[in-house]
Structure 1
Amino acid sequence: MGLRGTLYAELNDAGQLRYVREASEPILKPGQATEVLLKAATANMEKPVKTPTFKQATPKSASGVARYLWEVAYPGGASPSEALRLFSKDIVYEDFNYEAPFVGIPAVTEFVNAFDIPGIDFVPLKISEGDRACAFTWKVLINGQDGPQGLSFYEVDADGKVCFIRDIPAPSPRGFRPLGALAASVDPVLHVFTPATLTRAALGIASAAMGLLKPAFAAEAKWQAQTLGGKEAQAEALKQLDESIASAPVVVYTYTLSPFSTEALALLDATGCEYKTVELGLEWFLLDGVGSSIRALLLERYGMSSLPHIFIGGESVGGLYSGNAAGAPGLVELKRRGELTGMLQAAGAL
């Protein structure tokens, strides 16, 4: 393993090289855009429920951990928590799609859970032997079709816990379009992206970008409410908000001109559920005093000033892609996890 790359090599019985695979740091690092695109492409695909069939083990060597996770646990229905159990608390995880490594269990947990996406399977190809460190090659299956390949490196500490990981994706095979295959996994006719699929992908990326401006939008929401809404507007906003949330099994606060709001309603329509929409205005900059005050209340209570804002059974579940301050992940993520239908049924919306 080098500073910015990794090499996997095999020798034959005569000590001669018989196989070499190299991977190096890419110039272009899409980072979170990769995650957003994959989730957008699979937004309407529920994660299948798997009954674990593997026998739990706790290997202590690097190659033992790699073989156990990728040849036994994951094929046997394990969730990412099984891998996290074998990681050290101070683990450093380098994924060369990202500018900076993920350090510590909390950051690594968030990262590996984000890529637990239906329609995507990682398959090991060659795994080297090694007690303290090993390398292995892999490929990605997307909707059962061969996709990108790559190279990973595992290192364990003195206690046999994985303390360092490096993943380096290789370029996609010529002519292969990973996201096109993902779209096809959602709907067999989507061998290429349709306008609707491209819209979801674009909105997902836009949502990630707007998340960086969240502090500015929060400050603006408070200022707007203070400027446009007096005590009477604030009192009316409080009354309307409480009454609206309790008025239907599913309540969606929207802006008339917001593409995020339109996409959220389309996702709910696809479930066949009943819902009520509450339009605060055409857009955030065109709100009146009451609308501005409701937006500020949503920020105060749930940590979100953006719309759409969805309530299921009287509880906030976040927006389309964005989550709220309590940890609710948003509509797309609930759909991806396979939790949305159950929530709608429990609320009486289905």
Structure 2
Amino acid sequence: MLRVDGLSKIYRVAEKQPGLAGTLRHFIRRRTRDVVAVQDVSFRIEPGEMVGFLGANGAGKTTTLKMLCGLIHPSAGEVQVAGYRPQRRQAEFLRRITLVMGQKQQLLWDLPPMDSLRVNAAVYGIPDGVARRRVSELADLLELGEELTRPVRKLSLGQRMKAELLAALLHEPEVLFLDEPTLGLDVNAQARVRQFLADYNRRTGATVLLTSHYMADITALCPRVLLIHQGRLFHDGPLDALTDQLSPEREVVLELEQPVQREAVAGLGQIERMEGCALHLRVPRDQLTTVVAQLLDRFAVRDLEVKDPPIEALIGSLFRKGQV
């Protein structure tokens, strides 16, 4: 569904020193420099895939999405989305995609969402009966009711974002570009939006490319991730495999009936902490089953928990290094 080969975007920006003297020099002799936003990015996405697109601020995620939508032209490389070249902005191409940006809005501020939805239906040539049915179905999935008849300015951020999603999906696009769709939402609203997107993907088979700074969005929706750093793609693969590679150990937390000596747990893993009846171990993943069985056999255990390291910490370390 998406084919990207050697995609690059370079901006030429002017450099000006502050103050009146800097302004005069800039007026007489303008100096510029090239800023590389995206460089030599290549990947493929099959129909129906949900793929996470991750990177630090300024890494090139939004620029890439805008090139995939045809909003900006690439400096180099080839892009095909659903068989179309995005920069041509053909009407049939625009009917097959949608772009949702958490920091932007398409709904008219002083009008109810329903009025904007009628405008969208007319723009996409959707018959009135079909538009009403789609609005009803999507509103049920998004748990929207009377909010559609209140001015957008009177909606909460969560309600507005759900209405934005409804407007973006009214024409039933095949490809969804989602840039921070849960930005600023509370935990419950984020969960509802994630559930809606998962349901929409299962129901329609839509292809989704999702960027988010909330790792819960990625882990809940995207089996595969693309990682970008300073405009370069440095990883493309399954999220689970990446987690296993970055963290070959798991944490085992035990609450024992009574304290034990450090020597008693020697050889069962790396001891992170021992405080009274609490014991924290780090155990290699391939030895986990054996070690847990030995712990249960040797000691009187009140409670046992096996945890993975926080995914945010693992991904954050990758962004700092820019490599796997």
TM-score per shorter chain, which class?
under 0.3
Higher relative contact order (CA 8 A, sep 6+): 2
- Taking structure 1 as the reference length, the TM-score comes to 0.23
Structure with larger Rg = 2
